[in-house]
């Protein structure tokens, strides 16, 4: 490290950017050209071990040579220049691209997929898909009425029905209006914005380590499942039927909160019972860092979820869906671009590298090593940190207070390690899939140093 | 033309894609590699004059050499590989990029800008900006209450207040929930989706040619302005204050409906009167094809709009905004990526080409030639088409019935010209900025042939 972060050059650029837009969240400016692998280099020349990776969206580290090949291959040039309106005019190779990228790593039982630009657009369109399917079920085969056609355009029932999406306390699903209505993390994400008054259920507050509190945690999950059921009944009774439940396999932004497979199995059962749909939001958990492409596959659901949403590490947004969720008319899950073939092309490269280099296994192996080291620190500094948790390299640890968490994060950054915060007092690690044990050692050494200095 | 459209290869690919997603809107598959300038080449080898340009989103035609240079320049490679979370970690050159691209063509009086991935995300965040500013005005300097912080996370008042956005019949602003609530075009865009019950005002039904019906049109615009005013009063009286009016300078998807500058001046006055904000949605009209970068600048507004939204031809989504609309906290207008520097880089190239080749003037000159030819056809075939209209190459013409419009569009396509439909019975031309008179001639010849055959 050459300077503290943000250094003088970053500060100067933050000042300039401040004339253009709000910069209060800007951490530092980056020299992307000279960032490599797990190291992000800031404009002041600091090389920082990046365990946050652009809010968990970098898979293969910075400037991976295979991505460079993909961009520089003259055969691909046209993909980066010409952006199609994919819903009208897909490119010659579009079906192959989808098959070789997204479909080649599809969650078990799901073989349909649509692309979108980002996670929020993906969830918005996932919601539209379930609203259509739910109403189709209610109609039982009859066609839209003229009254429905007229009223929907004016935003009122019966064409625009008061259907709802059930979400969870501390869940995050995006920042556009429908996504935000299913998001319940921090007030700065929501204050002063109108929202849909949709049902919000409790997420189980589990005791850690999970294997030591099996009975207590089962009782807590049963309590939450009962709450979900009663909310679904309540909203149905006021004609605001829950068309879908949306949940993250691991509540990430909300604080890396876990549940057991039993809870997700229970949610799926409740969806079946109420003829609702089950949307699993893998925007942050998907893409491999847990040691699996899709973390919900660890839940042993008897049937696939109805929709699995992705973005971030997938490079493209979008969602997988079942036959039942297929829109029955064209142009309903739609916008101008509907994703971007150049991103899907890069995703194909990523998928190939993950397979060739067995990176899911790398995440398991490095993750186990990293977790062991973090547990040792947890035992050494029980007054400062606890609840080390997480599959693969998708790790988290809680800090005693929010203020101490923020201080530790700043100290880590000034000593050359970038991590993310989540929830009130959690540190989340979102390493790339190419993290090695020697990177884990660097983090553990610096973390230990920070914790020691704070004793 | 080698085949009718879609030809056999397109049909085969549509069949394959149908196993993956809904294809009912798919027109044909494209050989993007071999599409050039104003010609799109389909996979069956048909070279089609493209006057629709991916729903108005292609500016410089297909495979423009300057875009190729930009992608192939080794200095830019890292921009296409590493996608930053721009709200936290912008790249070294980000301020320069914004200054050289978006800010170098900013609408008069607006010098702040934020990028987003697409038009819908842009409008969603524009709405959030006005909700914040409107509530800030109501609070008069007091801080958020604890009750507001608690309730907003649960989607209820006072933290999540029932503010509204006023929009217009036949307006389109996107397909995510808030955007869709301000959209009133066709029922397939809206059916079965819950929406906010926000006010919808009439758009003036003007008589064409505008210069012949000045008095009638003024009366109609006064009627609509009065309606807007009464809706704003009505919604304020039920505590659902209109935080902003959103309007397109030309209602595009809704049917290429025009207003006069007087109408937009009146809307701005009403915003000032009610302390609301004025959002001008230039997603389709912006980018040069009208002969101006931003069509609202033809309205001689006494002050700039509070927000001007862009996407499509701008290659990146986003919006310009005034100082007053600047969020006062970080992370409020925010998502993981917040746009894409590689798209802004391409936009910079586009802006440079537009300036160097004086393409705004080209749109005016070619547009005048094209308009003259269309008017001649209108006079020759008054039973089939009327209301030829539009600035620059941003042209439209109405057809006697929706069915006849659809038939003409198919015939044009089979003879080698791709156009777009909008409204019930309008054909819209959305040429690139590099359209020349000889392209106009090709269109006019083929259009005349189709109209003749339908006599």
Q: For an interface test with B, which of A18, A92, A183, A192 has the most B Cβ atoms less than 10 Å from its Cβ? A: A192
Question: Cβ separation of B176 and A40 shorter than 8 Å?
Answer: no
For A54, name the nearest residue in chain B, comparing CA atoms only: B85
Phi, psi (deg, nearest 5) at residue B89? -135, 65
Domains by residue range for chain B, with CATH: 77-355 (3.40.640.10)
Alpha-carbon gap: B15 to the closest alpha carbon of chain A (Å): 10
Interchain pair A68, B77: CB under 8 A: yes
HEC string of chain B?
CCCCCCCHHHHHHHHHHCCCCCCCCCCCCECHHHCEECEEEECCCCEEEECCHHHHCCCCCECCHHHHHHHHCHHHHHHHHCCCCCCCCCECCHHHHHHHCCHHHCCCCCCEEEEECCHHHHHHHHHHHHHHHHHHHHHCCCCCCHHHHHHHHCCCCCCCCCCEEEEECCCCCCCCHHHHHCCCCCHHHCCCCCCCCCCEECCCCCCCCHHHCHHHHHHHHHHHHHHHHHHHHHHHHCCCCEEEEEECCCECCCCCECCCHHHHHHHHHHHHHCCCEEEEECCCCCCCCCCCCCHHHHHCCCCCCCEEEECHHHCCEEEEECHHHCCCCCCCCCCCCCCCHHHHHHHHHHHHHHHHCCHHHHHHHHHHHHHHHHHHHHHHCCCCEEEEECCCCCCEEEECCHHHHHHHHHHHHHCCEECEEECCCEEECCCCCCCCHHHHHHHHHHHHHHHHHCC
A124-149: per-residue pLDDT in tens? 999 999 999 999 999 998 999 999 99
Which residue of B155, B156, B254 is the best one to mutate when testing the A interface, meaning the one whose CB has the most A CBs within 10 A?
B155
A334 and B25 within 8 Å at the Cβ level: the answer is yes
Going by C-alpha positions, the residue among A127, A138, A65 that lies closest to residue A353 is A65
Burial of B76-88, coded b for 16+ CB within 10 Å and e otherwise, reads bbbbbbbbbbbbb
Q: Which of B28, B35, B160 sits opposite A190 (nearest CB)?
A: B160
The closest CB to that of B81, out of A71, A156, A334, belongs to A71
Pairwise CB contact (< 8 Å): B54 & A197:
no
Q: Does the beta-carbon distance from A161 to B23 stay under 8 Å?
A: no
Chain B neighbors of A114, CB-CB under 8 A: 21-22
Q: Which residues of B touch A77 (CB under 8 A)?
A: 68, 71-72
Give the end-to-end CA distance of chain B in Å, rounded to a whole number: 23
Binary contact (B192, A82; C-beta < 8 A): no
How many CB atoms neighbour CB B135 within 10 A? Answer: 19
Q: Which residue of A has its CA nearest to B59?
A: A82
> Quick check: B57 and A187 CB within 8 A?
no
Structure-block tokens of residue A415: 């000593």
State the pLDDT at residue A214: 96
- The ipTM estimated for the assembled molecules is 0.97
Query: Residue A435's pLDDT is what?
Result: 98
pLDDT at residue A208 tops 90: no
Give the CA count within 13 Å in the CB-facing half-sphere of A156. Answer: 7
Distance from the Cα of B141 to chain A's closest Cα (Å) equals 14
**Beta carbons of A13 and B95 less than 8 Å apart:** yes
Sheet holding A385-389, edge to edge: A385-389, A396-399, A426-428, A420-422
**Contact assignment for B118 to A113 by CB distance below 8 Å:** no
**CA-closest candidate to residue A337, choices A352, A313, A363, A318:** A318
CB nearest to A17's CB, from B20, B95, B163 = B95
Per-residue pLDDT at A209 = 86
CA distance B237 to B283: 32
* Residues A242/A164, Cβ–Cβ less than 8 Å: yes
The C-alpha atoms of residue B206 and residue B45 are separated, in whole angstroms, by 43
**What is the distance in angstroms between the CA of the first residue and the CA of the last residue of chain A?**
23
Are A176 and B124 in contact (CB < 8 Å)? yes
Whole-number pLDDT of residue B209: 86
Minimal Cβ distance to A152: which of B92, B117, B190: B190
- A173 → chain B, closest CA residue: B335
**Calpha distance B27→A438 (Å, rounded):** 53
Structure confidence at residue A324 (pLDDT): 97
Tokens for B348?
């910079």
Nearest to B453 by CA among B365, B384, B387, B369: B384
pLDDT of residue B127: 98
pLDDT tens digits for range A251-261: 999 999 999 99
Contacts of A24 in chain B (CB under 8 A): 329-331
CB contact under 8 A, A27 and B336: no
pLDDT tier at A9 (50, 70, 90 boundaries)? very high
Shortest CA gap B72–chain A (Å): 7
Print pLDDT tens along chain B (455 aa).
999 999 999 999 999 999 999 999 999 999 999 999 999 999 999 999 999 999 999 999 999 999 999 999 999 999 999 999 999 999 999 999 999 999 999 999 999 999 999 999 999 999 999 999 999 999 998 999 999 999 999 999 999 999 999 999 999 999 999 999 999 999 999 999 999 999 999 999 999 888 899 999 999 999 999 999 999 999 999 999 999 999 999 999 999 999 999 999 999 999 999 999 999 999 999 999 999 999 999 999 999 999 999 999 999 999 999 999 999 999 999 999 999 999 999 999 999 999 999 999 999 999 999 999 999 999 999 999 999 999 999 999 999 999 999 999 999 999 999 999 999 999 999 999 999 999 999 999 999 999 999 99
Using CA atoms, how far apart are residues A226 and B95, in angstroms rounded to an integer? 52
- Confidence at residue B356, expressed as pLDDT on a 0 to 100 scale: 98
Indicate the residue of A62, A78, A330 with minimum beta-carbon distance to B22. Answer: A330
How far apart are the CA of B110 and the nearest CA of chain A, in angstroms? Answer: 10
Which is it for strands A277-281 and A242-247: parallel, antiparallel or unpaired? parallel
**Torsion angle, CA of B398/B404/B406/B407, rounded to 10 degrees?**
-130
Q: Whole-number mean pLDDT of chain A?
A: 97
Q: Please answer whether residues B381 and B447 qualify as being in contact, where contact means their C-beta atoms are separated by less than 8 angstroms.
A: no
Exposure pattern of A209-242 as b/e (b: 16+ CB <10 Å)?
eeeeeeeebeebbeebbebbbebbeebeeeebbb
Print the SS3 string covering chain A.
CCCCCCCHHHHHHHHHHHCCCCCCCCCCCECHHHCEECEEEECCCCEEEECCHHHHCCCCCECCHHHHHHHHCHHHHHHHHCCCCCCCCCECCHHHHHHHCCHHHCCCCCCEEEEECCHHHHHHHHHHHHHHHHHHHHHCCCCCCHHHHHHHHCCCCCCCCCCEEEEECCCCCCCCHHHHHCCCCCHHHCCCCCCCCCCEECCCCCCCCHHHCHHHHHHHHHHHHHHHHHHHHHHHHCCCCEEEEEECCCECCCCCECCCHHHHHHHHHHHHHCCCEEEEECCCCCCCCCCCCCHHHHHCCCCCCCEEEECHHHCCEEEEECHHHCCCCCCCCCCCCCCCHHHHHHHHHHHHHHHHCCHHHHHHHHHHHHHHHHHHHHHHCCCCEEEEECCCCCCEEEECCHHHHHHHHHHHHHCCEECEEECCCEEECCCCCCCCHHHHHHHHHHHHHHHHHCC
| Closest chain B residue to the Cα of A123, Cα to Cα | B176
Closest listed residue to residue B288, CA positions, set B400, B366, B344, B175: B366
Helix axis angle, B359-380 to B437-453, nearest 10°: 20
Give the mean model confidence (pLDDT) for residues A323-333. Answer: 97
Contact B25 A144 (CB under 8 A): no
Is a pLDDT exceeding 90 seen at residue A237? yes
Q: Is the peptide bond before B158 cis (omega within 30 degrees of 0)?
A: yes
What share of chain A in percent tops pLDDT 70? 100
Distances (CA, A) of B398 to A54, B19, B364: 49, 37, 21
């Amino acid at each position: 490290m050459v300077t503290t972060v943000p250094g003088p050059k970053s500060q100067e650029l933050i000042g300039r950017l401040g004339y253009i837009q709000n910069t209060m969240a800007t951490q530092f400016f980056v020299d992307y050209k000279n960032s490599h692998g797990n190291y992000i280099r800031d404009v002041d020349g600091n090389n920082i071990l990046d365990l946050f990776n652009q809010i968990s969206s970098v898979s293969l580290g910075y400037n991976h040579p295979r991505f460079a090949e993909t961009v520089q291959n003259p055969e691909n040039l046209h993909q980066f220049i010409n952006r199609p309106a994919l819903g009208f005019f897909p490119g010659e190779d579009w079906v192959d691209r989808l098959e070789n990228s997204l479909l080649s790593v599809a969650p078990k039982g799901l073989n349909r997929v649509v692309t979108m630009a980002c996670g929020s657009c993906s969830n918005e369109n996932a919601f539209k898909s379930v609203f259509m399917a739910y109403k189709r079920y209610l109609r039982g085969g009859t066609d839209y009425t003229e009254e429905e056609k007229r009223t929907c355009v004016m935003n009122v029932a019966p064409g625009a029905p008061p259907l709802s999406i059930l979400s969870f306390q501390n869940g995050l699903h995006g920042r556009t209006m429908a996504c935000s209505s299913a998001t319940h993390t921090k007030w700065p994400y929501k204050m002063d914005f109108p929202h849909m008054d949709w049902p919000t259920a409790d997420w189980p507050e589990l005791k850690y380590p999970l294997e030591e509190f099996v009975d207590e945690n089962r009782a807590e999950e049963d309590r939450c499942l009962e709450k979900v059921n009663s909310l679904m009944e309540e909203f149905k009774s006021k004609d605001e039927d829950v068309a879908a439940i949306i949940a993250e396999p691991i509540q990430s932004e909300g604080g890396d909160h876990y549940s057991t497979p039993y809870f997700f199995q229970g949610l799926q059962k409740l969806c079946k019972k109420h003829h609702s749909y089950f949307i699993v939001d893998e925007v942050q958990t998907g893409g491999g860092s847990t040691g699996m492409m899709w973390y919900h596959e660890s839940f042993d659901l008897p049937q696939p979820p109805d929709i699995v949403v992705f973005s971030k590490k997938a490079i493209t947004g979008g969602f997988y869906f079942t036959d039942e969720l297929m829109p029955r008319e064209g142009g309903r899950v739609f916008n101008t671009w509907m994703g971007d073939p150049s991103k899907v092309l890069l995703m194909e490269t990523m998928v190939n590298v993950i397979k060739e280099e067995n990176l899911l296994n790398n995440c398991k192996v490095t993750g186990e090593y990293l977790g062991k080291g973090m547990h040792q620190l947890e035992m050494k500094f029980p007054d400062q940190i606890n609840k080390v948790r997480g599959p693969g390299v998708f790790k988290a640890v809680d800090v005693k207070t929010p203020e101490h968490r923020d201080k530790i994060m700043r100290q880590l950054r000034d000593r050359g390690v970038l991590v993310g915060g989540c929830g009130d007092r959690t540190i989340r690690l979102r390493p790339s899939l190419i993290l090695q044990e020697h990177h884990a050692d660097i983090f553990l050494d610096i973390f230990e140093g920070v914790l020691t200095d704070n004793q």
